[in-house]
């Protein structure tokens, strides 16, 4: 969210940024919010004038009464009453205008970093680099749920009866592998100096609107009926929310946390192969990382964070690439974002498994996350987030890239980094 004074002082820059993001429908919001803010300022100035007059006139009434000028005193009292009614109306108007300004303020996109490529949508995202040799198997790799089924590792039919589409049971070695990946990712981030945290899985509406745009909220979040609570779509939401209305001493920055949580989303599915299986589901588990830091350090942390994801995936023998999101593919709060995509030998293409984002001070402004310097000055922090791993997508990439077939049985190789979390097994073999 942009500061209202910044919008008023730089309307052309804000409009140009909206055009870069191909959100032309939001251009009119800039002039609208400036007009509303100026109206609010006028109302505030008049209200302050009346408050000052009220004190002055009250003294005059006392003096007139002391001088026996009762009629003049009564006339002055009527003026006080009239101005009190005007002041009350102005205060109501101020409050209404402030709400309208904030509502529009939260719809205007954040200023993207100058390094972000301009593009309309995700088809114009730019590849940064590939890591690891892409696997081209000498056998036909089954669909990922068929791989799991070969190990008696999944039951979608039963889950459909229990919860409907978008859910599944994981079983046996596949379920253990799923948990092993999460445990390894947790320890990987702890070794990077991040503090491990298990957050609340529900958050209030003021936190939801603090961490994401209204469009994302409507598309993702499940509302708890009858309560001011939402199920989290990612632990980033409750992790950033942890610092709502706080002032952190600058010397304690950066704050680096890694969190585990289940996640709940209104996934609508996708076309083609990703519509089946467990690519897009309503419930999954995830290891996340967040950073709260000084503004001048946020790009340095951005680069560290997406590199951590690359390192983690490569340690499990999964080829990946980084893809820079273009302006049109950036959510409104984001300044810069990279997707980390894993190689799918089955599809012979990359697919998204992580998303690393720098949100500048947008979330901090909405949530009141401030920093205090040694000399007492305060400023807004910068916030960043990145997926560490998010099974089942990560699990799909793992299975496809570590699968072999001898003509009779399938074998999944367990990379060395993961073996301590799998009872030191080096492989698992289909039933």
Question: Residue for token digits 């998204």?
Answer: 352
**Residues near 408 by Cβ (< 8 Å), separated by ≥ 6?**
none
Q: How far apart are CA 22 and CA 26, in angstroms?
A: 9
Q: Which two tokens stand for residue 261?
A: 């949580």
Residue 65 pLDDT > 80:
no
Q: What's the CA angle centered on 291, arms 293 and 238, to 5 degrees?
A: 125
* Whole-angstrom distance, CA of residue 386 vs CA of residue 291: 9
Query: Does residue 349 register a pLDDT over 60?
Result: yes
Q: For the chain, what's the residue count?
A: 431
Do β-strands 382-389 and 427-429 pair in parallel, antiparallel, or remain unpaired?
A: unpaired
Taking alpha carbons only, the member of 275, 48, 312, 46 closest to residue 166 is 275
Q: Is the pLDDT of residue 272 over 50?
A: no
pLDDT exceeds cutoff 90 at 84? no
> Please, which pLDDT band fits residue 280 given cuts at 50, 70 and 90?
confident
Which residues have C-beta within 8 Å of that of residue 298, sequence separation ≥ 6?
Answer: 291, 358, 360, 382, 384
Q: How far apart are the first and last CA of the chain?
A: 53
Residue 270 has what pLDDT? 41
pLDDT tens column, 182-212: 999 999 999 999 999 999 999 999 999 999 8
Give, to the nearest 10 degrees, the angle between helix 27-66 and helix 70-105. 160
Check pLDDT > 90 for residue 230: yes
Secondary structure, 3-state, the chain: CCCHHHHHHCHHHHHHHHHHCCCHHHHHHHHHHHHHHHHHHHHHHHHHHHHHHHHHHHHHHHHHHHCCCHHHHHHHHHHHHHHHHHHHHHHHHHHHHHHHHHHHHCCCCCCCCCCCCCCCCHHHCEEEEEECCCCCCCCCCCCHHHHHHHCCCEEHHHHHHHHCCCCCEECHHHHHHHHHHHHHHHHHHHHCCCEEECCCCEECHHHHHHHCCHHHHHHHCEECCCCCCEECCCHHHHHHHCCCCEEEEHHHCCEEEEEEEEEECCCCCCCHHHHCCCCCCCEEEEEEEEEEECHHHHHHHHHHHHHHHHHHHHCCCCCEEEEECCHHHCCCCCCEEEEEEEEECCCCEEEEEEEEEECCCHHHHHHCEEEECCCCCEEECEEEEEEEECCCHHHHHHHHHCEEECCCCEEEECCHHHHHHHCCCCEEECC
Is the model's pLDDT at 70 over the cut of 70? no
Task: Give 113's pLDDT tier (boundaries 50, 70, 90).
Answer: very high
Tokens at 277, concatenated: 């299986």
The architecture in CATH of the region 4-105 reads: Orthogonal Bundle (1.10)
pLDDT tops 50 at residue 10: yes
Cβ burial 14-31 (10 Å sphere, 16+ → b, else e): bbebbebbebeebeebbe
Residue 308 in this model has a pLDDT that exceeds 70: yes
How high is the pLDDT of residue 271?
Answer: 38
Q: What percentage of the chain exceeds 70 in pLDDT?
A: 92
Residue-wise pLDDT tens digits, 85-107: 888 889 999 999 999 999 999 99
| Phi, psi for 337 (deg, rounded to 5) | -150, 140
Q: What is the pLDDT of residues 122-132, one digit of tens each?
A: 999 999 999 99
How do the domains of the chain map onto residue ranges? 4-105, 122-429
List the CATH code of the domain at 122-429. Answer: 3.30.930.10
pLDDT tier, 83 (very low <50, low <70, confident <90, very high otherwise):
confident
């Amino acid at each position: 969210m942009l500061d209202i004074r910044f919008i008023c002082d730089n309307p052309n820059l804000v409009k140009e940024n909206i055009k870069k993001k191909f959100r032309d429908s939001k251009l009119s919001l800039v002039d609208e919010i400036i007009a509303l803010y100026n109206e609010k300022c006028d109302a505030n100035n008049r209200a302050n004038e009346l408050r000052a007059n009220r004190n002055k006139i009250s003294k005059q009434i006392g003096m007139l009464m002391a001088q026996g000028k009762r009629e003049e005193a009564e006339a002055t009292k009527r003026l006080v009453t009239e101005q009190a009614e005007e002041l009350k109306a102005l205060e109501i108007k101020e409050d209404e205008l402030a709400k309208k300004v904030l509502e529009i303020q939260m719809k205007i996109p954040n200023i993207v970093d100058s390094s972000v490529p301009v593009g309309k949508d995700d088809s114009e995202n730019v590849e940064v680099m590939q890591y690891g040799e892409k696997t081209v198997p000498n056998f036909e790799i089954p669909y990922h749920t068929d791989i799991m089924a070969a190990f008696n590792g999944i039951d979608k039919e039963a889950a459909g009866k229990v919860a409907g589409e978008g859910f599944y049971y994981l079983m046996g070695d596949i379920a253990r592998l799923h948990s092993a990946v999460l445990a390894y990712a947790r320890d990987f981030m702890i070794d990077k100096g991040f503090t491990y945290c298990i957050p609340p899985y529900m958050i209030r509406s003021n936190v939801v609107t603090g961490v994401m745009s209204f469009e994302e909220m409507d598309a993702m979040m499940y509302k708890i009926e009858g309560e001011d609570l939402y199920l989290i779509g990612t632990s980033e939401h409750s992790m950033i929310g942890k610092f709502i209305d706080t002032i952190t001493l600058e010397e304690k920055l950066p704050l680096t946390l890694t969190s585990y949580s289940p996640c709940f989303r209104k996934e609508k599915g996708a076309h083609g192969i990703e519509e089946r299986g467990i690519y897009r589901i309503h419930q999954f588990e995830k290891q996340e990382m967040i950073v709260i830091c000084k503004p001048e350090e946020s790009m340095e942390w951005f680069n560290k964070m997406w590199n951590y994801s690359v390192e983690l995936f490569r340690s499990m023998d999964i080829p990946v690439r980084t893809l820079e999101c273009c302006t049109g593919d950036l959510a409104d709060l984001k300044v810069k974002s990279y997707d980390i995509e894993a190689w799918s030998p089955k599809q012979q293409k990359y697919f998204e498994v992580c998303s690393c984002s720098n949100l500048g001070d947008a979330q901090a402004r909405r949530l009141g996350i401030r920093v205090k310097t040694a000399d007492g000055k305060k400023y807004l922090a910068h916030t960043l987030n990145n997926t560490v791993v998010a099974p089942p997508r990560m699990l799909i990439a793992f299975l496809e890239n570590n699968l072999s077939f001898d003509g009779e049985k399938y074998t999944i190789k367990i990379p060395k980094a993961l073996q301590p979390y799998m009872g030191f097994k080096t492989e698992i073999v289909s039933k």
